A and B are shown apart, each in its own frame.
Chain A
Amino acid sequence: MPNTPLLTVERLLFERDDCNVFEQIDLSVGRGDIVQIEGANGSGKTTLMRLLTTALQPTSGNILYAGEAIDLCRYEYLSDILYLGHQPGVKMTLTAEENLRWMAADCGNSAQDALAAVGLAGYADMPCYNLSAGQHRRVALARLLMTNAKLWYLDEPFTAIDKQGVSFLENCMRDHAKRGGAVVLSTHQDLAIDGVRKYSILAHADQGGL
């Protein structure tokens, strides 16, 4: 089914403590799309990301992967997504390479190459507590080079990353979209990529924001 979008979100509603965090999220992400989720602090960007990654269950509404409800194709869906959250998920006592060994199971590239590409060439064998916050972030970003996932969910991926890192990440996303993958990211920055679709949460929420 080449015309079916990779991800379809229908009338997604999420309640927390009897109050809607947001309602009526309708979103469709096709192959080659880069979707930027926008919204003020506290408007529910991370919540939306966590709903999409199944870490949270929506109160009502559907999330479809290639036209099929994700509850029905859970294994396929979760094998095809990659999620980078607020916390990089980097273990401080492990080295950068060991971290990647456990985080990125489906290696296309070797961990060494991926680390070199994110600018951590000499740091592969150093325990991560010796690295800075931005370098932790880069270790997590190296996963992007080692995955076969089609759908990337990046929650504030630019936090603590320097300018070269930002342009590297933008290149990564552009290449991924060209290969037929899709990216959903939340950020407040403007991206230097053409054809980024913006999706504003605030416009769809009944409350929230300032």
Chain B
Amino acid sequence: MSSGFTDYLCRDLLLAYRRPGEAASPLVFFIMVCTLVPLGITPESARLAEIAPGIIWVMALLATLLSTDSLFASDYQDGSLEQLLISPQMLSMPVLGKITAHWMVTGLPLTLASPVLGVMLSLPAQGYMPMVASLALGTGCLSLIGAVGAALTVSLRKGGLLLSLLVMPLYMPVIIFGSATVQSAIDGFAWSGPLAILGAMLAAAIALCPIAAAGALRLTSIN
């Protein structure tokens, strides 16, 4: 008896692989916007270095938010969500599978691409490791929290704006501790503290968000 986690993880990864353009759009957005920052603000590396951690984190957050909307939307439209809701296994495991797949096609590429953008925004050398580490944990949180919002708004025709309003306040702690990790490393302090808090947030989100998202999906299906 399978829990449905791996089934849905593999299915969503295959779906993303078949639609590479759609799957890559958060990453392309992330890179493009970060490229515009030196053009729009200043190419001066001293000033860029000051704002680099914040910029990279804000852009990673927006890129994730952009893609969260579609997490359950296509399943809802073609009826596979309905099939999932009446499947006998616990709903939160397939949901966690879908979220994991979502992180692997959005958060993970963003994390891996961030050093390149660090170079572009002249991030100080001691900031790279903390940035990659904090993004790896933080984007996981973002995907998990976003899934709850996406589940709540899946039946709305124009749920995008409501989704942002719902999810944004919950994203704030993530971005605060995420950019704090990078900033404290640049300033020469120990960065394990804020990173540990991010890790704790991720652990809590893994435990709670799939259950919340599953409950939200059940709620929306009732109406």
Contacts and interface: CB of A to CB of B under 8 A. Distances in A.
Interface of A: 53-57, 74-75, 77-79, 81, 83, 85-94, 98, 102-103, 105, 127
A33 B2 CA distance: 31
Nearest to B4: A105
B86 A54 contact: yes
A90 to B, nearest CB: 6
A94 B221 CA distance: 25
Interface in B65-99: 74, 77-80, 82-83, 85-88
A54 B85 CA distance: 9
B86 A83 contact: yes
20 contacts: A55-B85, A55-B221, A56-B221, A75-B88, A78-B86, A81-B86, A83-B82, A85-B83, A87-B82, A88-B78, A88-B79, A89-B82, A89-B83, A90-B80, A91-B80, A94-B11, A94-B18, A98-B14, A103-B83, A105-B7
Q: Is the interface of A mostly helix, strand, loop or mixed?
A: loop
Nearest to A56: B222
A88 B82 CA distance: 10
A88 B86 CA distance: 14
Q: Is the interface of B mostly helix, strand, loop or mixed?
A: helix
B121 to A, nearest CB: 36
A91 B78 contact: yes
Contacts of A90: 78, 80
B15 A91 contact: yes
Given A83-B86, A93-B15, A94-B14, A57 B79 contact: no
A124 to B, nearest CB: 16
Interface residues of B, number: 20
A112 B167 CA distance: 43
Contacts of A91: 11, 15, 74, 78, 80
B86 A89 contact: no
Contacts of B221: 55-56
A33 B222 CA distance: 28
A102 B84 CA distance: 11
B19 interface: yes
A115 to B, nearest CB: 18
Nearest to B17: A93
Nearest to B22: A93
Q: List the 6 shortest-distance A-B pairs measured between CB atoms, nearest first.
A: A87-B79, A78-B88, A89-B79, A93-B18, A89-B80, A79-B88
A127 B18 contact: yes
Contacts of B78: 87-92
Contacts of A92: 78
Interface in B169-223: 221-222
Interface in B12-40: 14-15, 18-19
Nearest to B82: A85
A86 B82 CA distance: 10
A59 B146 CA distance: 31
Contact of B87 (A56, A78, A87): A78
Given A55-B221, A75-B88, A102 B79 contact: no
A53 B87 CA distance: 10
Contacts of B86: 53-55, 78, 81, 83
A83 B83 contact: yes
B22 to A, nearest CB: 10
Given A78-B88, A90-B80, 8 more contacts: A74-B88, A78-B86, A85-B83, A88-B78, A89-B78, A90-B78, A93-B18, A105-B7
Contacts of B2: 105
Interface in B41-80: 74, 77-80
A87 B11 CA distance: 19
A105 B83 CA distance: 12
B214 to A, nearest CB: 14
A88 B78 CA distance: 7
A137 to B, nearest CB: 11
Nearest to A129: B18
Contacts of A88: 78-79
